[in-house]
Amino acid sequence: MADEVLLETPLAGLHRELGGRMVPFAGYSMPVQYPAGIMAEHLHCRAHAALFDVSHMGQAELVGEGAAAALERLTPAEVQALKPGRQRYGLLLNERGGIVDDFMVANLGDRLFLVANASRKHVDFPLIESVLPAGVRLRPLPERALLALQGPAVASIIPTEMGFMGISAMEIAGIPVITSRSGYTGEDGLEISVAADKAEALARHLLSLPGVMPAGLGARDSLRLEAGLCLYGNDLDENTNPVEAALVWSMGKRRRMAWDFAGAEPVREALDNGPKRLRVGIRPEGRQPARAHTAIESGGATVGEVTSGGFGPSVGAPVAMGYVRRDLAADGTPLELRVRDKALPARVAPTPFQPHRYAR
């Protein structure tokens, strides 16, 4: 991978101009932080507003009669009953009930709009195409950029009628965009899809608004971890099912009656008999963070593994999530984390670590 040529987003020039520290991520050169630093960017997002470039994510349209039913072959999310102007979180599953990706699906009236992870779009899109009937077409949208404007100030600087998980076409500073009221920080905010050739103009406009500062992938990661949101590749993978990932809420009620999606049988089995392990929040004692892949122990035995961990700038303490044996998943359960060959005391803790402040 070292010799791989990294892709750039339409905002690459702006990132350089803003002093972004560029790192490889999912095949793209992306800013991990700007000169303010991860801590300042994180806290600014919680207090005011932060602008993230997430153009590396995979955007696509699903068009044609029966598009929703076709997508439901691969996801237990309720897609067919999703109303126009509404967006929903879902999981793509394989035949073993493992999570191929987590994604957003929106009903734009005449088509479905999908946003998938950058690291997985090359897997997701061919998989979706493989189940499409004649007349339904998946159209990837590499010519579109995606910006996330997140934080409590967003509602006043870009007023909208939409509630949480609403989506609509609109104009911002005269630029046509598709905007959803959603995000990956636990804060109110918008995710804005825009034509690549208008992305820089839009970003410059948003950065000129009061209280908005640019933030990189570092702050995005610490914000989503405090919000208890999963990162694909860390907390979710093809060997993890929705039950152990504690994402059963993303499965539609009708879907849990019909069991008519890829991997339905293994998922049903995990739901009926209980999973062997569960994703939980973890609070280490003291200030030392426990990072991903840290072994979790109880009574000297290994009982799980941390999948995401770091320091929560808003919590003011280390936070983590990981998988533990089901009998150890109750809030408050004492655990030990094997950090640099020392046992670091920790407890299972409820998530989110930082309360969500979505618009309602």
Partner 1 sequence: MTMKFTKDHEWLRIEGDAATVGITDHAQNALGDVVFVDLPEPGREVQAGEAIAVVESVKAASDVYAPITGKIVEVNAALVDNPGLVNQAPTGEGWFFRIAPEGELPDDLMDADAYASHVESLA
CB-facing half-sphere around the CA of 191: CA atoms within 13 A: 25
Which listed range, 34-42, 73-81, 148-156, 168-176, lies at the site for partner 1 (CB under 8 A)? 34-42
If you search the block for the tokens 């408050």, which residue do you land on? 332
Pick from 288, 331, 334, 345: which binds partner 1 (CB under 8 A)? 288
186 binds partner 1 (CB under 8 A): no
The DSSP secondary structure of 67-120, one letter per residue, reads: HHHHHHTT--S--TTPPTTBEEEEEEE-TTS-EEEEEEEEE-SSSEEEEE-TTT
Q: Binding to partner 1 by residue 311, rule CB under 8 A?
A: yes
- Distance of alpha carbon 33 from the chain centroid: 18
Q: Quick check: 242 binds partner 1 (CB under 8 A)?
A: no
C-alpha torsion 25→30→220→76, nearest 10 = -50
Q: Is 37 in the site for partner 1 (CB under 8 A)?
A: yes
The region of 39-47, 110-118, 271-279, 351-359 touching partner 1 under the rule CB under 8 A is 39-47
Tokens of 340: 């640099």
Instruction: Please give the Cα distance from 192 to 154 (Å, whole number).
Output: 12
Give the Cα separation of 60 and 141 in Å (integer).
Answer: 5
Give the pairing of strands 295-298 and 144-150: unpaired
Residue with smaller CB distance to partner 1, 28 or 113: 28
- Out of 7, 18, 22, 39, point to the residue binding partner 1 (CB under 8 A): 39
Tell me which stretch binds partner 1 (CB under 8 A): 5-13, 30-38, 167-175, 247-255.
30-38
Q: Closest Cα to residue 241, out of 204, 211, 266, 210?
A: 266
Question: Which residue in 7, 32, 196, 359 binds partner 1 (CB under 8 A)?
Answer: 32
Q: Write the burial class of residue 182 (CB in 10 Å: 0-12 exposed, 13-18 middle, 19+ buried).
A: buried
291 lies in the site for partner 1, by CB under 8 A: yes
Task: Give the length of the chain.
Answer: 360
Position among 246, 310, 324, 335 found at the interface with partner 1 (CB under 8 A): 310
Interacting span for partner 1 (CB under 8 A) from 7-15, 32-40, 114-122, 144-152: 32-40
Contacting partner 1 within 323-352 (CB under 8 A): 340
List the one residue out of 322, 288, 320, 284 whose CA is nearest residue 302.
322
Residue number, 232 or 311, with CB nearest to partner 1: 311
318 part of the interface to partner 1, by CB under 8 A: yes
Q: Which of 1, 134, 174, 287 touches partner 1 by CB under 8 A?
A: 287
Can you tell me the distance from the alpha carbon of 332 to that of 285, in angstroms, rounded to the nearest whole number?
A: 12
The answer to the question of residue 322 lying near partner 1 (CB under 8 A) is no
Interface with partner 1 in residues 209-228 (CB under 8 A): 218, 221-222
DSSP 29: E
Is residue 106 at the binding interface for partner 1, with CB under 8 A as the rule? no
Residues 9, 34, 42, 261: which binds partner 1 (CB under 8 A)? 42
Give the residue, chosen from 228, 252, 313, 322, that forms a contact with partner 1 under the rule CB under 8 A: 313
Stretch that binds partner 1, among 83-91, 113-121, 131-139, 284-292 (CB under 8 A): 284-292
Stretch that binds partner 1, among 29-37, 164-172, 298-306, 322-330 (CB under 8 A): 29-37
H-helix or E-strand containing 281?
A: strand 277-284
Contact residues for partner 1 (CB under 8 A)?
32-33, 37-40, 42, 218, 221-222, 287-289, 291, 310-311, 313, 318, 340
